[in-house]
Amino acid sequence: MEKMYFGSIDLSNDCMRRDTALWNSRFGNLRSTTVPLICLLFAVLSGCNTGRPNGAGLPNRVQPQIIATTSLVGDMVRTIVGDRLEVRVLMPAGVDPHLYQPTRSDAVDLLYCPLVVYNGLQLEGQFGEVLQKRKTIGHRTFAVSDSLSNHSIIASQGNIPDPHIWMDASLWAICAIGLGEELAAHFPDHAAAFRRSAAEYAEGLRKLDAWAYDSLQTVAAEQRVLVTAHDAFRYFGRRYEVEVYGVQGMSTASEAGIADVNQLVQMVHLRSVPAVFFETSVSKRQVQAIVDGVQAYGKSISADHTLYSDSLGPAGSGAETYHGMMRSNVVTITTALGGAALSNELDNLTMNLK
């Protein structure tokens, strides 16, 4: 039975509530904006048989055979597909997938692309309507999270799933195998190549997973406490035995939020947690509040560290691939908390992985 490492403060529903609230609020937007757009698309389509609305006024460009939503899903798709098919990744590095709203041209492409691959578990909250419409007209969509068994998914008491599955590299490996099968079924001319690429990619992820676990175990158990801006690290915490706390997951800009921040300051102070972590795609304000609160007790705390959570890094950052992102996060967390990432094994990983 898997142990859960969520710490002594009950934060277990915060991100779920945030995701649910975002989901609910965004569906209102989708109904008011995406549906008329889809009606327009069908009106255009009714006058032609090409499968695409040529008269929609969109610029000519290479049409993708696969669209991936997030940068993380896109990295998996591109690694498996290689240059065999045209792949488009909608969200650039640094974009928050909870908030990303498809543009008009995104919506057109999403509707007519032969295959759309997304994370699922309500991560892409703004995409629900257009993906549902694809299904209605018989176009294939594939959520990489569908490869996981229900017991793998962390859920709130209200049974709202946590979508941040990529934070556990062993789960991401299962998703890669599932994607390989989907691609093989959808593009049978490349079936053998896609299955082989997916298997190689998954094997690399399993090595990365083992390296991450071993590296984090060099941190003393009582020091393995991860305080981040946004509570996206539950899967990471469960897999690598780290207590995780997300500041922004607590209610924002409210009395209760202030009380929760104070509670977290107390925890960090009393346990002498040596570092807290910013995230690239989230405001620094809440984590800075923890730093200020701890320093008010006369304690020093390191706040020089930034993690990649819901997005890859930009080109040249070293975190522009999934492997690079995980390596960066594990090295940052391990060293900041007093451990030592296993550099020899990392060198081997770096040689074998993109």
CA distances to 1, 70, 134 from 173, in Å: 20, 17, 27
Instruction: Considering the complex, state which of residue 167 and residue 242 has its C-beta at the smaller distance from Zn ion.
Output: 167
Instruction: Considering the complex, state which of residue 233 and residue 240 has its C-beta at the smaller distance from Zn ion.
Output: 233
Instruction: Considering the complex, state which of residue 124 and residue 310 has its C-beta at the smaller distance from Zn ion.
Output: 310
Task: Count CA atoms closer than 13 A to 206's CA, side-chain side.
Answer: 10
| Site of interaction with Zn ion (CB under 5 A) | 232, 310
Closest CA to 215 of 56, 125, 339: 339
Instruction: Considering the complex, state which of residue 109 and residue 124 has its C-beta at the smaller distance from Zn ion.
Output: 124
Least separation in angstroms between residue 100's CB and Zn ion is 11
Whole-number Å distance between alpha carbons of 327 and 335: 12
Instruction: Considering the complex, state which of residue 201 and residue 308 has its C-beta at the smaller distance from Zn ion.
Output: 308
Least separation in angstroms between residue 310's CB and Zn ion is 4
CB 120, CB 237: distance < 8 Å: no
Whole-number Å distance between alpha carbons of 257 and 250: 6
Instruction: Considering the complex, state which of residue 80 and residue 167 has its C-beta at the smaller distance from Zn ion.
Output: 167
Whole-number Å distance between alpha carbons of 134 and 130: 6
CB 26, CB 125: distance < 8 Å: yes
Whole-number Å distance between alpha carbons of 277 and 281: 12
Whole-number Å distance between alpha carbons of 196 and 202: 10
| Amino acid in position 227 | V
